[in-house]
Structure 1
Amino acid sequence: MTAHAATAIRSPDVATARPSAAKSWLSAIEITARIEREPTRLLCDAVADWASRTPEAPALLSDQEQYNYFELARQIDRYARWALAHGIGKGVTVALLMPNRADYLAIWLGITKVGGVVALLNAQLTGASLAHCVDVAAPGHIIVANELGGAYDSAKPHLASAPRLWRHGDDATDFSLSAALAAITDSPMTADERPTVTIDDTALLIYTSGTTGLPKAARVSHRRVMSWAGWFAGLTGATPEDRIYDSLPIYHSVGGVVATGSLLMAGGSVVIAEKFSARRFWDDIVRFDCTLFQYIGELCRYLVQAPSVPNETRHRLRLACGNGLRGDVWEVFQARFAIPRILEFYASTEGNFSLYNVEGEPGAIGRLPSFLAHRFPAALVRFDFDTGLPVRDDQGRCIRCARGEAGEAIGRIGEAERGGGRFEGYTNDRDSERKILRDVFAPGDAWFRTGDLMLQDAKGFFRFVDRIGDTFRWKGENVAASEVADALTACPGVIDACVHGVSVPHHDGRAGMAALVTGDGFDLAALYRHLAERLPTYARPLFLRLRPALDLTGTFKQAKQTLIGDGFDPRIVSDPLYVADSAAGRYVVLDDDMFGRIARGAFRL
């Protein structure tokens, strides 16, 4: 380990942490230590272990189906044999397009058990956006839920690949996956049947927008799956008596691997909601007798803004785990809903380090005890917004930030003990290389660029500041400005488009805004319909600004900073402004009165 790696993060040692924090860290270390000792043990094997120990214990619960551990293990083996029967072995990719449900987990656990790779497609995508995600995965097969058949049909004209289609659902007729499974036994798979798959093999492709461009497919090895599951099982103190409520999309790493994997690792139960609903949330928590739930910050804010209901304090919750909970929401959220403990964390699907706020410090994304610095080698470096790169000194080295100074978070790439510092990259090698910063503190070293600005406070806690680049986060989703701009300029009458995110009072993240140059044939109503057909709801621009021309930098790049600074305030912006009115299904004029309603939180975005 280099001196730079050893001093990258200065955090209090375990001896100075609260006893509960120390116990959480030690539990996580103990669980994850097993990963390296047993390199052929996968998450499906943890399920099989619990199936033999507590076969009747509930594993996955959803409105569509429910599995105890015995049933889940059998279903996993059925999908594993189906995969082998159709030539899906090590390195063969299967794309999965399905809403949240228990069988989603059974499918990817079964396929990856025999070496297949499963691409978890965003269930909200349609058309060209969905086709792009399918093509970057280059799957040999695709499983499509019946209810998402229309979405896949809209993508077909844009596909460059031609995966074999399997329809999921009992009422499927053509290409029925259920019919294929019916002929396959679900008896426990023997050692002779099962190919050798190790923790270093790729398990999943999970999509992330990164900091620029269209969604990229990040490689996720079985090692990462097991590490995520193990760390969170330990840090949350999960036991077989626990039930976690998961209303996040399970095509994402948090909703689909962290929340689910940690409880399956611990022998607990996962309650999978098809989608988040503030109205049903507390009733579901009580009905399923949940003790934990997984959140994103926006979810918590929705709950705080919702009217009080009796069940919001009649629960047995002991912990909420997630990321993005703002400091100004944290304490109100915890007090109103009587939640004993909150575990906030920072991580990314492709990133090579994580931060955990085990102590429950409001507004912080975490800190690390010094004895774990070698597993999570990270640093904050000064950033230049004009160049879009970290600042270099006279020797060409990056400059570490002082306490309280915001900079880009980076993680040292290496083969550190138990997988720390690993960067597994994307399916596209050029995309992977763009995330690597070289010769950072010493000749030849390499660090992963998170694209996130953070600062470290006087107590050693890291605090999130903002995202770098064109990607902004809205409704818990990363939105790639270039993809939105492409959809806008494909609309008749739109000559040019500059897409950026703007802060909105009473909302987390940044909402999409587009500055448009328009010409003959432009129609606001047609634009609204055009975007509804091509982009998921969270990616459609909420605000429009009509400009005679777009400003460019000296290198002919769009000058966004002025537009971002102007925001959508008609007292500042003299150009025509519009806001998307979802209730009316169109863009409406954004005048002083409408701006006031948005600023007060009286207009639904």
Structure 2
Amino acid sequence: MSGDGKENVQVAKYYLQGIFHGFLNVTFKNKKFIPFLAAGVSYQLYKLDDTSSWIHDGILSPSFLFKSMVSSVGLGLSLLALVNYETLYYNFKALPRDLKGISRFARVLREIRWAGRNNFTVAKYLDRNAEKFPDKVCFYYEDEKWTFRQVREFSNRIGNHFSSLGFKKGDTVALFMENRPEYVCIWLGLNKIGVTAALINYNLRLQSLLHCIETVKAKAVIFGFELTAAMQDITETENILSTLPLFCSGHGNNNALPKGVRDFDKEVGTASHETPVEMNDMKLHDSLYYIYTSGTTGMPKAAVIKQYRFMMAANGIHFMNNVKKDDIVYDSLPLYHMTGGMIGVGQAVLFGSSLVIRKKFSASQFWKDCIKYNVTVAQYLGETCRYLLATPPSPEDTAHKVRLMSGNGLRHEIWAEFAKRFNIPEIGEVYGSTEGNTNLANVDSKTGAVGFVPRFVYSVLPTALIKVDEYTGEPIRDLETGLCIRCKPNEPGELMAKIVPRHPIRDFQGYTDDQSTSKKIVRDVFAKGDSAFRSGDILVMDNLCYFYFKDRTGDTYRWKGENVSTTEVESIICTFTSYKDSIVYGVKVPNTEGRAGMVAIVDPTESVDLEILAAGISRSLPAYARPIFLRILDEVDITGTYKLKKVRLQNEGYDVTKIKDKVYFSHSGKFQILDEALMKQINSGEIRL
């Protein structure tokens, strides 16, 4: 049997097992139906291997046809006896979607399995594409065109040069640069010799930036000339950077390099463009790079991205959203993030699609770019869709060739309006996290859904919504079994997935520090002794097993397309308030995605200098992490009810009609008192956040 056939059989068996498991659950809750079940299921289970052969070989023997007919009668009796009308209705209504999803997912598994058998790393995919179509455009950037041959040769030069400098497998190099083709070539080239790049958010400054370099034990830093000032801010004091080689890229001929910084472009330009010999030693389970996520211990956490993790993310979108190798993909999202840097880049590197890289997202240029480059697939975040809708209508809204928008965070309220105004036939909403081991995909453009699971297999899947305490965030457990409790349809819960070590989908690699890793793992979830990854996201599932995002839990919130760590912001703010107690949390603002940052500071004497605080926040935090609202408290309970207090503050938000404390609004870099009139301007959208 071929690999493709085995994969199809595996998926089919898994699907059938889910059906039988569901029947058993229903039956033993309704014991009067057990005799009917015995008659029906005995035929359904009869000679399952024959069914497998039929699925693979298409052999319709008379014996098998007879058994299939009898089994079908048994199946029908079981359905009539066991399933009420409502359940039967939902099962059949979801069936076309389920079959489409299963078929596409089988292709994902098949590709991952092929890569595993052939030890095909990400860099090998790129080289294969460069051999198949060397002159095809891999990256468009402004007026530049980078062919697959150019990308391969430039990445080879990078690998060979750093190899000559003594860098080897297991080393880490920090990469701090804005979007451009060189960015991808750098981490690809480094990985060809086994060096892991740490992709640092280019918005970070001072302590957060230095922490990201130190936490991965970087042996060098490569930064873009546009970020020279940020690098100089952290090299002025004595720290690890004084001992590291620093490379600057993109300074041009008219700009002088900072003292002690090496010319990356000049050095790499003289290296060999032949494939580094070290590339043959790379394995599928080796590290590709680090991506940073918001920390719950005060600073960003470095998540390890293995080769197969990158492939899984890119493959998932490619097949589940039906992206083609002839598509031209538009990527205006940060390349240090999963969506832009893994999913977007992966379409070019793995599958040979052409990728348009934009330095930064621009609502006014979005559709102009799509027209200019003949884009057929565009990536989005929920915030970008709202910004696009906020632009004045123009002929360019529908003059493009975009057939698919792929991304995450598109709100239910604007979904239909967005698709209609910009004439988008398909919206491929997906759900996943950088380091997580569970992903969902919307394969039929269901409005508002982040994805689905087949109804027949939900009860046996090692992924589920788990009931959690609203205030503590801890899983609620069954008193008899001690296991976590799965949510029923329309019950909100935290998405969790069983961890299976070294599995390309179910593994959780964790972070560079064990403490952060352990906080994302919960034990005894589906069975005694198991472990599962905590997503930190609250979702809800409807009767058709569509999933909808509801909220985030814990110590992070999402704003401007970024995850914000409340503890990181708190630790920085306290340095400008004489270390007064402070609580940072996200609050909902009408007609915006995510939550805006708000800080409550205990300052009964009002001694905090708001000008110093505002200036310190602007200097130390990226724009998306800066609190927009400030509340002055007389006191705060920091005992065991701290989380309860935080939930109450979050629910009260910035509504000055209900809050007696002073509330301030950050505008143009200064805090001004928030009154009812100003609040109405914010809520109506007259003042844009």
Secondary structure of 2:672 counterpart: strand
What is the CA distance between 1:22 and its match in structure 2?
A: 5.9
Partners in 2 of 1:37 and 1:374 — Cα distance? 31
Aligned 8 A contact 1:99 1:274 in 2 = yes
Of 172, 176, 190, the match for 1:97? 176
Pairwise mapping of residues 104-115 of structure 1 onto structure 2 (< 5 A)? 104-115=183-194
Return the letter of the residue paired with 1:443. K
> Does residue 271 of the first structure (1) align with residue 350 of the second (2)?
no
Partners in 2 of 1:103 and 1:528 — Cα distance? 36
What is the CA distance between 1:520 and its match in structure 2?
A: 6.9
Instruction: Tell me the equivalent position of 2:323.
Output: 238
What is the CA distance between 1:213 and its match in structure 2?
A: 3.8
Secondary structure of 1:279 counterpart: coil
Instruction: Tell me the equivalent position of 2:671.
Output: 587
Return the letter of the residue paired with 2:308. R
- Alpha carbons of 1:36 and 1:397: their partners in 2 closer, same or farther (altered >3 Å)? same
Return the letter of the residue paired with 1:295. Y
- Alpha carbons of 1:158 and 1:330: their partners in 2 closer, same or farther (altered >3 Å)? farther
> Does residue 571 of the first structure (1) align with residue 657 of the second (2)?
yes
> Does residue 534 of the first structure (1) align with residue 620 of the second (2)?
yes
Partners in 2 of 1:380 and 1:215 — Cα distance? 26
Aligned 8 A contact 2:139 2:146 in 1 = yes
Instruction: Tell me the equivalent position of 1:438.
Output: 523
Partners in 1 of 2:667 and 2:113 — Cα distance? 52
Partners in 2 of 1:375 and 1:430 — Cα distance? 31
> Does residue 33 of the first structure (1) align with residue 113 of the second (2)?
yes
What is the CA distance between 1:581 and its match in structure 2?
A: 1.1
Pairwise mapping of residues 164-563 of structure 1 onto structure 2 (< 5 A)? 164-171=245-252, 173=257, 174-186=261-273, 188-189=274-275, 192=277, 194-209=279-294, 213-369=298-454, 377-394=462-479, 395-415=481-501, 419-492=504-577, 495-518=580-603, 519=605, 522-554=608-640, 559-563=645-649
- Alpha carbons of 1:354 and 1:565: their partners in 2 closer, same or farther (altered >3 Å)? same
Deviates more, 1:317-326 or 1:12-21: 12-21
What is the CA distance between 1:493 and its match in structure 2?
A: 5.2
Pairwise mapping of residues 63-142 of structure 1 onto structure 2 (< 5 A)? 63=142, 65-142=144-221
**Structure 1 residues 267-326: Cα deviation after superposition (integer angstroms, max 9, x where no partner):** 111111111111111111111111111111111111112111221100000100001111
Return the letter of the residue paired with 2:489. R
Partners in 2 of 1:54 and 1:216 — Cα distance? 38
Partners in 2 of 1:12 and 1:224 — Cα distance? 32
Aligned 8 A contact 2:194 2:278 in 1 = no
What is the CA distance between 1:425 and its match in structure 2?
A: 0.8
Partners in 1 of 2:636 and 2:340 — Cα distance? 39
Aligned 8 A contact 2:91 2:456 in 1 = no
Partners in 1 of 2:291 and 2:230 — Cα distance? 19
Partners in 1 of 2:525 and 2:18 — Cα distance? 14
Instruction: Tell me the equivalent position of 1:150.
Output: 229
Secondary structure of 1:532 counterpart: helix
- Alpha carbons of 1:530 and 1:70: their partners in 2 closer, same or farther (altered >3 Å)? same
Aligned 8 A contact 2:431 2:450 in 1 = yes
Aligned 8 A contact 2:98 2:453 in 1 = no
- Alpha carbons of 1:323 and 1:96: their partners in 2 closer, same or farther (altered >3 Å)? same
What is the CA distance between 1:148 and its match in structure 2?
A: 0.5
Partners in 2 of 1:18 and 1:351 — Cα distance? 23
- Alpha carbons of 1:159 and 1:329: their partners in 2 closer, same or farther (altered >3 Å)? farther
**Structure 1 residues 193-246: Cα deviation after superposition (integer angstroms, max 9, x where no partner):** 535010101111101115564211000001111222222222233333211111
- TM-score for both structures, normalised by structure 2: 0.82
- Alpha carbons of 1:170 and 1:211: their partners in 2 closer, same or farther (altered >3 Å)? closer
- Alpha carbons of 1:7 and 1:488: their partners in 2 closer, same or farther (altered >3 Å)? farther
Partners in 1 of 2:206 and 2:281 — Cα distance? 37
What is the CA distance between 1:456 and its match in structure 2?
A: 1.1
What is the CA distance between 1:170 and its match in structure 2?
A: 4.2
Secondary structure of 1:266 counterpart: coil
What is the CA distance between 1:558 and its match in structure 2?
A: 7.6
Task: Let me know the Cα RMSD of the aligned residues.
Answer: 2.6
Secondary structure of 1:419 counterpart: coil
Return the letter of the residue paired with 1:237. N
- Alpha carbons of 1:451 and 1:360: their partners in 2 closer, same or farther (altered >3 Å)? same
Secondary structure of 1:495 counterpart: coil
- Alpha carbons of 1:195 and 1:46: their partners in 2 closer, same or farther (altered >3 Å)? closer
Instruction: Tell me the equivalent position of 2:121.
Output: 42
Aligned 8 A contact 1:125 1:535 in 2 = yes
Partners in 1 of 2:297 and 2:493 — Cα distance? 18
Instruction: Tell me the equivalent position of 2:37.
Output: none
Of 3, 12, 16, the match for 2:96? 16
Return the letter of the residue paired with 2:267. A
- Alpha carbons of 1:367 and 1:492: their partners in 2 closer, same or farther (altered >3 Å)? closer
Deviates more, 1:204-213 or 1:94-103: 204-213
Secondary structure of 1:559 counterpart: helix
- Alpha carbons of 1:577 and 1:555: their partners in 2 closer, same or farther (altered >3 Å)? closer
Q: How many pairs does the alignment contain?
A: 596
Partners in 1 of 2:100 and 2:606 — Cα distance? 65
Partners in 2 of 1:26 and 1:552 — Cα distance? 50
**Structure 1 residues 163-196: Cα deviation after superposition (integer angstroms, max 9, x where no partner):** 321111243644111121122021x316x45350
- Alpha carbons of 1:69 and 1:554: their partners in 2 closer, same or farther (altered >3 Å)? closer
Deviates more, 1:305-314 or 1:153-162: 153-162
Aligned 8 A contact 1:238 1:263 in 2 = no
Return the letter of the residue paired with 1:441. F
Aligned 8 A contact 2:297 2:516 in 1 = no
Aligned 8 A contact 1:47 1:265 in 2 = yes
Instruction: Tell me the equivalent position of 1:163.
Output: 244
What is the CA distance between 1:380 and its match in structure 2?
A: 1.2
Partners in 2 of 1:520 and 1:504 — Cα distance? 27
Secondary structure of 2:586 counterpart: strand
What is the CA distance between 1:155 and its match in structure 2?
A: 2.6
**Structure 1 residues 67-95: Cα deviation after superposition (integer angstroms, max 9, x where no partner):** 11111111111111122112222110010
- Alpha carbons of 1:401 and 1:19: their partners in 2 closer, same or farther (altered >3 Å)? closer
Secondary structure of 1:128 counterpart: helix
RCO (CA 8 Å, sep 6+): is it higher in 1 or 2?
1
Deviates more, 1:273-282 or 1:367-376: 367-376
Aligned 8 A contact 1:132 1:159 in 2 = no
What is the CA distance between 1:360 and its match in structure 2?
A: 1.0
Return the letter of the residue paired with 2:264. L
For structure 1, the 5+ residue unaligned runs are: none
Return the letter of the residue paired with 2:528. P
Secondary structure of 1:380 counterpart: strand
Aligned 8 A contact 1:206 1:217 in 2 = yes
Aligned identity (percent) is 36
Secondary structure of 2:671 counterpart: strand
Secondary structure of 2:592 counterpart: coil
Return the letter of the residue paired with 1:571. T
Secondary structure of 2:281 counterpart: coil
